[in-house]
Chains A and B, each alone.
Chain A
Amino acid sequence: MDITEINESLLRTPLYSAHNDLNAKITPFAGWEMPLVYSGILNEVEAVRKRSGIFDVSHMCRVRILGSDAADFIQYLTSNDSHRLSNGTGQYSLLLNDQGGIKDDILQFRLSEEEYFLILNAGNAKKDLDWILSHKPPSVTLEDITRETAMIAWQGPEALKQCASLLKIDYPPMERYQIRKLSYKNQTLIVSRTGYTGEDGCEITVHADFALLLWREIMELGVTPCGLGARDTLRIEAGFPLYGHEIDEDVFPREAGLSWAVIPDKGKFIGSDAIIENNRAKAEKRSIGILAMDKTIPRQGYPIIADERNIGFVTSGTYSPTLKCGIGIVRVNAPYAKAGKTLHVEIRGKSYPVTTIEKHKMLSLSKGD
């Protein structure tokens, strides 16, 4: 295989030329050529926290699940209670394996009784689709619309107002986790009030041929383009899990603080027996957030030390532009996963103190809560 072929094997989103025009640094990610950074992660994170930013998240896998049995199939396939969803609403949910480990974390939306819309992680797309296909009954149809569409995340305190103004719809256009099909310039947009930054905002799925135009119209409002670097930094600040870091096939949902997305008494679903069995014993590992007490920066894989023992490791770590210190999410022996403890992180052979904090409270420190 020569170099041309290697490059051709990476997919490009419909917005690729816009990233090039903006001189983005491009990186291979989950089989796609994606923008890593445009103007700088510090600048991009600040834009999302104070104003608004847009992200090309077209690499994420988008599928429609269709048919008269779609509702029951989603209920069996995923861990959250999808029967609670009314038309035009969605929820965070998990695909579990038969052992109760996490195959992927997903968003699932009910567009109508016979149409569901799922957003899956790009890195798990093939695995997830194979899994879904191997479990679905013949009466249910799966339609992968990833390649024929683009997806733009528009995030920040000003994002929804700007979005309502551009699309000429009421503000606020919807409640959190609601989803609408909107008509704009004779195109159908699928807009949900969701995101992965800890800020308000929306995610828009748009036909591939219309994506560049929409991206440019949003840019003309003065919105800051943000890359995957900023996206990962923002999600760590918000304490959100990422597959391959906080969660994977060997992690039970409660170990990652995701019990709220698993409803064992909703009836049988994939992994439910294993979850019920696992819940009988105490969890061995738990996850919690950490803040560095000096200028050091925790990074994925660094050991966590307490009582002179190795008690776990960092699953995600970064410098937080918002808190202006090193932060992270750690997976440690359950008794240590309590807020307000001092643990130590080992960095290049030296030990540095960190304070534990509930993951979702890290960001609120910057707001003076």
Chain B
Amino acid sequence: MSIPENLKYTNSHEWLKIEGDVAIIGITDHAQAELGDIVYLELPEAGRVLQKEEVFGTVESVKAVSELYSPVSGEVIETNAPLCDATETINKDPYNTAWLVKVRVFNPAELDGLLDSNAYAKLIEE
């Protein structure tokens, strides 16, 4: 199971890559493996303001539905809309081409509560 060291993680299996005041968000390798073949993705509109832990989208495999939770409060500045027509990319490359949204982070202090790769590895071991 791939868990890159340069990313932050959530208990609900999202990853974040921090670039300045922007967080790029996706779902982890573990999450895609648990879901199985992903066939549907619903993303928010750019411009939407998200609260921390608010549902911002949905990902579905053949048999399972999983909500996406925003790890931080912020404004959606860009979404990976083409991914909705190529959902298998989330299974194949969850950390790179299959990023989901870019969010401008309102409160950088929220990032401190996220898991690092070691803590996330421990979480999915349990």
Known: A319-B60, A348-B58. A42 touches B65 (CB 8 A): no
Could you tell me the dominant secondary structure of chain A's interface residues? mixed
Surface stretch bound by B, among A91-99, A132-140, A291-299: A291-299
Flag if B40 contacts A40 (CB, 8 Å): no
Flag if A233 contacts B58 (CB, 8 Å): no
Confirm or deny: B1 has a beta carbon within 8 angstroms of a beta carbon on chain A.
no
**Chain B positions 19-50 with a Cβ under 8 Å from a chain A Cβ:** 36-37, 39-40
| Closest Cβ–Cβ distance, residue B118 to chain A (whole Å) | 25
A318 to B37, CA, bound (A): 12
Flag if A319 contacts B65 (CB, 8 Å): no
Flag if B40 contacts A232 (CB, 8 Å): no
Confirm or deny: A218 has a beta carbon within 8 angstroms of a beta carbon on chain B.
no
| Closest Cβ–Cβ distance, residue A195 to chain B (whole Å) | 20
A297 to B40, CA, bound (A): 8
Flag if B39 contacts A297 (CB, 8 Å): yes
A319 to B39, CA, bound (A): 7
A299 to B37, CA, bound (A): 16
Confirm or deny: B122 has a beta carbon within 8 angstroms of a beta carbon on chain A.
no
| Closest Cβ–Cβ distance, residue B42 to chain A (whole Å) | 8
Q: Chain A interface: which size bin?
A: 10 to 19
A232: chain B residues at CB < 8 Å are: 63
Known: A319-B62, A321-B62, A348-B58. A37 touches B36 (CB 8 A): yes
| B58 nearest in chain A by CB position | A348
A201 to B61, CA, bound (A): 27
Could you tell me the dominant secondary structure of chain B's interface residues? strand
Report which of B36, B65, B84 forms a contact with A299, defined as CB distance below 8 A: B65
**Chain B positions 52-72 with a Cβ under 8 Å from a chain A Cβ:** 58, 60-63, 65
Known: A41-B36, A296-B40. A318 touches B58 (CB 8 A): no
| Closest Cβ–Cβ distance, residue A123 to chain B (whole Å) | 17
Report which of A229, A296, A326 forms a contact with B63, defined as CB distance below 8 A: A229
Report which of A37, A319, A321 forms a contact with B40, defined as CB distance below 8 A: A319
A132 to B34, CA, bound (A): 40
Flag if B63 contacts A233 (CB, 8 Å): yes
A318 to B62, CA, bound (A): 6
Flag if A42 contacts B62 (CB, 8 Å): yes
| A292 nearest in chain B by CB position | B40
A297: chain B residues at CB < 8 Å are: 39-40, 60, 65
12 further interface pairs, Cβ-Cβ under 8 Å (given A40-B36, A295-B40, A297-B60): A37-B36, A41-B36, A42-B37, A42-B39, A45-B62, A232-B63, A233-B62, A296-B40, A299-B65, A318-B63, A319-B40, A321-B62
Cβ-closest 6 pairs across A and B: A41-B62, A319-B39, A42-B37, A319-B62, A40-B37, A229-B63
**Can you show 16 pairs from A to B with CB atoms below 8 A apart?**
A40-B37, A41-B63, A42-B37, A42-B39, A42-B62, A45-B62, A229-B36, A229-B63, A232-B63, A295-B84, A296-B40, A297-B39, A299-B65, A318-B63, A319-B61, A321-B62
